[in-house]
A and B are shown apart, each in its own frame.
Chain A
Amino acid sequence: GAVVSQHPSRVICKSGTSVKIECRSLDFQATTMFWYRQFPKQSLMLMATSNEGSKATYEQGVEKDKFLINHASLTLSTLTVTSAHPEDSSFYICSARDVLAGPRSSTDTQYFGPGTRLTVL
Chain B
Amino acid sequence: DAKTTQPNSMESNEEEPVHLPCNHSTISGTDYIHWYRQLPSQGPEYVIHGLTSNVNNRMASLAIAEDRKSSTLILHRATLRDAAVYYCILSKIGSSNTGKLIFGQGTTLQVKP
Interface residues of A, Cβ cutoff 8 Å to B:
4, 6, 32, 34, 36, 43-46, 49, 91, 93-95, 97, 106-115, 117
CA distance A44 to B103 in the complex (A): 6
Interface residues of B, Cβ cutoff 8 Å to A:
32, 36, 38, 41-46, 49, 85, 87, 91, 93, 97-106
Q: Which residues of B contact A36 (CB under 8 A)?
A: 103
Q: Which residues of A contact B106 (CB under 8 A)?
A: 43
Q: Report B4 CB to chain A, min CB distance, Å.
A: 12
CA distance A85 to B106 in the complex (A): 29
| Contact (Cβ within 8 A) B102 A34 | no
**The residue from A45, A95, A108 contacting B43, defined by CB atoms under 8 A apart:** A95
| Contact (Cβ within 8 A) A109 B102 | no
Q: Report A30 CB to chain B, min CB distance, Å.
A: 10
